[in-house]
Amino acid sequence: MNTDQEILSNTLSFYDPGPDFSETGVKPLRVQADASKPIPAAENASSSILPCEKLKIVDGNFVDSSGRKRVLKGINVDNSMKLPVTPFSPSCGGNYSDSSNIFFEGDTVSFVGRPFPLEQAEEHWKRIKSWGYNVARYVLTWEAIEHEGPGKYDDDFVNYTIEMLKIVHKVGGIFVFLESHQDVWSRYSGGSGAPLWTFYAAGLQPLNFSATEAAICHNDARFEKPTDSECYPRMFWPTNYNRLASLTMFTMFFAGKVYFPHLEIDGVNIQTYLQSRHRDALAYLTKRVTESLPELVQDGTISGFESLNEPHMGLIGNPDLGKISEVQRIRLGTTPTFYQSVLLGMGLPVEVETYLIDLSGPVKQGTQIVDPKGKKAWLSAEEFAKYDTHYGWKRSGWTPGECIYSGLKIWEWSRAYDLDKINTLPLDTRLEFSTTQCRLLQPGYFNDVSKLSAYLGGKAPPKSLDMEFFLANFFVDFYLDYKQSVRKINKDYLMLIQPPIFTPPPIIGKDDRGVIDDKTVYAPHYYDIMTLLLKNWNEHFNSDSLGISRGQYAHPSLGVVVGDKAIRNCISKQLKFIVQEGKQRLGHIPALLTETGIPFDMNNKKAFEDYKYTLQTTALDTIANGLEQSGLHHTYWSYCVINSHEYGDYWDNEDFAFWSPEDQGKNLGKGESFEECIKNCYPSEDVVRAPSAVIRIFLVSYKGEVKAVEFDIKKSKYSLSLDLNGQSGLSKAPTVIYVPKWHFPDLSYNDIYATSGDVKYNEKLEYLEWHHPEGAGTETIIIKKYTGKMDDVTKREESHAFCTIV
């Protein structure tokens, strides 16, 4: 925690006025050019502002062959990849409480058709490109590749992916990073990612997860109206990270050798088995893509691969299995301790605490009895035989029908009683049995550093088994193995390393294992927690979510900020901190924020009634401003071609899509001028939601250093200062700025001011070249939708009609 003086200084910084642009020496270009004539054309025979090429990493920047730094700005494509096409399985579809439901037919699903149909693909990629975006984080899941069983790859899906990437290349100008996506391990534990068979491999029975609350899915029968946020709470799905199924899978995946050394499949530890299957499935797709699309690899379109999305440390380092961890900030609904979870997993009833979340964090509401009625989260002897035969593996170490944690003597029940008979007794009797005849024996089992002795191989154990240790060891082991598999296929691929969200990356910048090299990119995530949890944008106050999660405040209330300027500065400060922290811990490598975004179903979906995306525009503009202030490359979450107003992105009541087909054909703003439509924050003609924030002016490529940058969305005013001192070859390497017609429909000399140089404009591709003389110093350009004198800017712009955000 910071000192009182640091906290005060930090708080005051939220109320700084923002970037300081000196207008000294800034002159209107119409003075030196004929304002009656159009800006000279920036010649470009291609269909892209700048083509893809293999980018080098130099001093923490992406640098192209001209020596200019490239800014990567784009989007995730597409979060429908979390869901199969056949059968179409939205998270609220099927019945998680019915073991015979088609939802559990995990072997036969197909993701062919994701992210969207091939016949529509060019339209979608061109739309994304038309926003000025030049990078896509291409979402993949392990389940999509290897759903039928271990080693059985879906070649139809792999071939479909290859055909989709060909279309990306045809459209051109979009770099692609492919990533392995997961949320709370799998669709069958409330999220996305891993195939169903991984649970069977672990000895778990997902058919009984609902009854035992080993996981709670969106399509559980308890949620009678799954699209109702009051019935299925906002951000409920992350609670599964702290339930039995997800905790078990992540612990096995990252540290099975340490904590479950006796559990083996096909002669290898469960950790090795799961990691190798995941790695090999991705390697299969990577190899096929690389061999089938050499031209995309050669020209940099396929740029690299990202490690596992938002990994979780499972039970590693848990200090007390009998208590809810203080770091468990997401508590909604029933919130069992892990010990209570294992009791439930053996079919025993438990009285657990229930929670809600408000502005101050989780708030205990009371207690609730959860009764599995004898159903177990573990495979019976018959089920072991069935699945072992079906998937063809041979296992050792499991006791059929029993909890693996009781096998480790972490807890026990009185063996004088037959659990199967106990589970036929009245509820009160069974509750008494859970309380009096069951005991937690080793609450600190996963925090015992002595268990690391074999893993450490003689090295001194850590003082505590915390997130730092997890990241620097178990996570890095996984990452290095995955990195090696990718680099075996192509040594030039960039590797994106991603720690858990809101977690500092490991301190490995100078690590002798060679984790970081000159082709490594830091890939953090960021969301404004208050906006996510409330599904609303509060224009009056917000909080320093990152600072609070890092323990920088004695109490979360001290991280609250008040007022529009403070909120914008607060978001910017958090994003700048992410960049700074990455450099301190990983070295001078680029930071590409591979997820950030906002919910579009804010304020009880009010915007879907009048199509005025005002709050969404404000929220996204605030985040975009922070991204620009921090210099973070980024891919927004997300594009979703199946989005609808009722079901959002069809996954766990989320609605993050920048484009929604349901907004088509509404004839919005009929009879209104273009500027009136913008002021009302209607979707664009191409039904981009909150288009004024989605489609924005930004720096594409440049030499030198960015001194300050800001886009004032209310005034359509963009200001950029570059330090070009000591830069050579400026005359052949102009600064490139994407200047969308959405904000600047009639760009002319009257709209541009600069300290030096001249400009060229490509109207078709909507970008400006700012040409600099050799020997340029600190230079500033201002682009604003205004004609008149420089000293009239404030007065005129304050009355300029624009999206009514404050």
Residues annotated as catalytic are 595
What's the CA gap between 199 and 387, in Å, rounded?
Answer: 10
* Selection from 763, 710, 712, 720 nearest residue 741 by Cα: 763
Segment holding 709, helix H or strand E: strand 705-712
What's the CA gap between 542 and 548, in Å, rounded?
Answer: 12
- Cα 196 vs. chain centroid, distance in angstroms? 23
Q: Is the peptide bond before 506 cis (omega within 30 degrees of 0)?
A: no
Q: Is the peptide bond before 87 cis (omega within 30 degrees of 0)?
A: yes
Q: Token match 């917000």: residue?
A: 542
The CA–CA distances, whole Å, from 150 to 64, 142, 197, 266 equal: 41, 11, 8, 11
CB neighbours of residue 427 within 10 Å = 11
What's the CA gap between 788 and 796, in Å, rounded?
Answer: 9
Cα-Cα-Cα-Cα dihedral sign, residues 745, 747, 748, 753: positive
- Helix spans in 260-407 (H): 270-292, 294-298, 338-345, 381-391, 404-407
Q: How many residues are there in the chain?
A: 806
Q: What is the DSSP letter of 289?
A: H
E-strand stretches of 193-270 = 264-265, 268-269
Collapsed DSSP state (helix, strand, coil) of residue 280 = helix
What's the CA gap between 259 and 554, in Å, rounded?
Answer: 35
- Helix spans in 293-416 (H): 294-298, 338-345, 381-391, 404-407
- Helix spans in 500-613 (H): 529-534, 545-549, 564-586, 602-605, 607-610
Tokens of 582: 């990455």
* Selection from 90, 94, 92, 110 nearest residue 102 by Cα: 94
Phi, psi of 697 (to 5 degrees): -65, 140
What's the CA gap between 48 and 64, in Å, rounded?
Answer: 15
B/e letters for 490-528, b = 16+ CB within 10 Å, e = fewer, are: beebbbbbbbbbbbbbbebbeeeeebbeebbbbbbbbbb
Q: What is the DSSP letter of 152?
A: -
- Cα 436 vs. chain centroid, distance in angstroms? 44
Q: Token match 């899906």: residue?
A: 157
What's the CA gap between 480 and 45, in Å, rounded?
Answer: 42
Q: Radius of gyration of the chain from Cα atoms?
A: 27
What's the CA gap between 797 and 296, in Å, rounded?
Answer: 45
Tokens of 417: 């009683």
Q: Token match 């708080």: residue?
A: 11
Please state whether 213 falls in left (phi above 0), alpha (psi between -120 and 50) or beta. left
The CA–CA distances, whole Å, from 392 to 147, 276, 552 equal: 15, 16, 51
DSSP annotation string for 230-271: TTS-TT-GGGGGGSHHHHHHHHHHHHHHHH-TT-EETTEEHH
What's the CA gap between 762 and 49, in Å, rounded?
Answer: 9
Q: Is the peptide bond before 78 cis (omega within 30 degrees of 0)?
A: yes
What's the CA gap between 635 and 766, in Å, rounded?
Answer: 20
Contact criterion met (CB below 8 Å) for 253 and 222: no
Tokens of 523: 């890939």
